Amino acid sequence: MSEFASQLATAIASTRAALELVPAQSAQFGELDDDTLVVTNRALAEIRRALDARSAVVAGEIAARSTRENGYGGLAQREGFRSPEKFIQHITGTTLRDAGKQVRAGGLLRELEDADPTGGVVPDDGSPIAGKLTVAGATPARPWLLAATAAVAAGWLSVDVLDSLARGLGDPTEEVPAEALADVATTLLGMLRAAHDAGGPADSDRAFQLARQLRDELDENLVAEREQRLHDARAFRKVRGPNGLPRYIIDPDIETAALVDDICNRIMSPRRGGPRFVDEAGKTWAKSVVDDTRSNDQYLHDAMVDLLRYAATADTSDTKRIVGTRMPAVRVLVAAPNLENKRGSGHLEGAEFPVSIATVGRIACTAGTIDIGFVDGQPLTLGREQRLFSRAQRIALAARDGGCGWPDCDAPACFTEAHHIDEWHKDHGKTDVIDGILLCRFHHMLLHNNGWRIIRDDTGHFQLIPPPQRDPEQAPIAMPSKSPALRDLQRVTSMGEPQPRQIHPPALA
């Protein structure tokens, strides 16, 4: 262990010991008067900002060792993660979004370290600076953020606010050069420092709004440039909501925003005092919208989903050009005894939450069913008659594995490839479900390129064997199924041969 590593370990141990001196029982804090409680909260916030800054430095170093140039030999990649953000999320137990903030802030702090503070850019106290961009050291990629990064290093600005400023200010353009962004950053830091000194530091949302507002003022006469930038930034993203379900976020361009607004306004018009209808059909529709017992949010949600469903299932050339020839559908997995006895629950393929047996029955009534026979938890076989897994086997693998089999990977089954644990050519492996496992493309490539192996133990469960350079002992790592439906099957049919049933529209049969 190096001298610095030893000193660091001692410092971290001392920090932990000091933190343990602060009580964690709410009853004790309940004894504090209001002023002391607020002062305590502010002091803890300062400590957290300092810890976040140091965590960002570490995250930046991990990211630097996990670049694309390092390929599968990067630090995060060797540990089985496709990005440093996913690796840091795994280590810290935080959200992927927060891990991304740490990585971005870490990159900015590395740029700050490369810039010589004596060059007139970064004062030692981290106070706002003029818009000078000349540095004595290496030229940073984002010099307009140097002062804000220095404020994080000084401890009075949080990593979250730094990330908000970086997103709000954006990047320079021909019309808005880096010097102009640096002037805006100086103005913002002055406002934020004044708020901090007054005991009320701005939150990250407010910081983003201020940064965006000032940046837009620079672009006041650049309508076309802003429109193109927003068009290039358009996105449809899936994130995890606070209730555990996916949350879909659309970042539209200007034209799309106007279109979506118009659709929503038309749907909700009867509830929002829109124009009155004179024809009977319009009056009847408007009355049905007003009288509907669903809330505005619920009604709009259901209407937008119906529009998506109607568009996606329309048998037109335009629809097939967008979604392909296979009609979109939701697969539901349920143990046959549960369905027959109307007990227990079912599972939507790719979803974490179960659905009621009543919902399963409703889908079965309208869509029909396909039975998949399991023996000892393993469905269907093909032997060596063909190399590639059939579509029926892929459905069975998805029902059994529930997604990528790699530990800690959350890729759904639709983003995976079927892997032979005994290679087809080298090991004369069979194309049987019992010898196959689903892996996302990243982990499939990682397995083949970095010397990982997958075996099946005496109980039939898969185990991941790391390469010797990662674990000299090559201790097996369990690869439990992520399919809640299979757990249901095994629970309700612990003896005998389970008979799972998969339900989906006939178009997929």
Indicate the SS3 state at residue 501: strand
Tens of pLDDT, residue by residue over 162-201, are 999 999 888 888 878 888 889 889 988 988 888 777 766 6
> With 0-12 CB in 10 A as exposed, 13-18 as middle and 19+ as buried, what is 88?
buried
Give the pLDDT confidence score for residue 201 in this predicted structure.
66
Spatial distance between the Cα atoms of 68 and 97, rounded to a whole number of angstroms: 20
Q: Which residues of 118-141 are buried (b: 16+ CB within 10 A; e: fewer)?
A: eeebbeeebebbebebebeeeebe
Average per-residue pLDDT for the chain: 78
Residue 361 has pLDDT above 70, yes or no: no
Residue 46 has pLDDT above 80, yes or no: yes
Tens of pLDDT, residue by residue over 61-98, are 999 999 888 888 899 998 889 899 999 999 999 899 99
Residue 360 has pLDDT above 90, yes or no: no
Tens of pLDDT, residue by residue over 212-267, are 878 877 765 545 676 788 889 999 998 888 887 888 999 998 888 888 888 888 88
Indicate the SS3 state at residue 244: coil
Give the pLDDT confidence score for residue 8 in this predicted structure.
92
Give the pLDDT confidence score for residue 102 in this predicted structure.
93
Give the pLDDT confidence score for residue 235 in this predicted structure.
94
Spatial distance between the Cα atoms of 501 and 342, rounded to a whole number of angstroms: 14
Tens of pLDDT, residue by residue over 323-338, are 665 555 566 777 777 7
Report DSSP letters for 424-461, one per residue: TTTS-----GGGEEEEEHHHHHHHHHHT-EEEE-TTS-
Q: Which two tokens stand for residue 253?
A: 């361009």
Query: Greater confidence, 26 or 47?
Result: 47
Q: In what order do the strands lie in the sheet with 477-478?
A: 453-456, 462-465, 477-478
* Segment 447-472 mean pLDDT: 87
* Segment 439-451 mean pLDDT: 83
Least confident window among 409-418, 426-435, 459-468:
426-435
Helix (H) or strand (E) run with residue 8 in it? helix 3-20
Query: Which ranges of 23-126 would DSSP assign to H, the alpha helix?
Result: 26-29, 34-64, 75-78, 84-92, 96-114
Gyration radius of the chain over CA positions: 28
* Segment 4-32 mean pLDDT: 89
DSSP state of 478: E
Give the pLDDT confidence score for residue 115 in this predicted structure.
67
* Segment 202-211 mean pLDDT: 84
Spatial distance between the Cα atoms of 430 and 436, rounded to a whole number of angstroms: 9
Query: Greater confidence, 86 or 364?
Result: 86
Residue 424 has pLDDT above 50, yes or no: no
Give the pLDDT confidence score for residue 52 in this predicted structure.
92
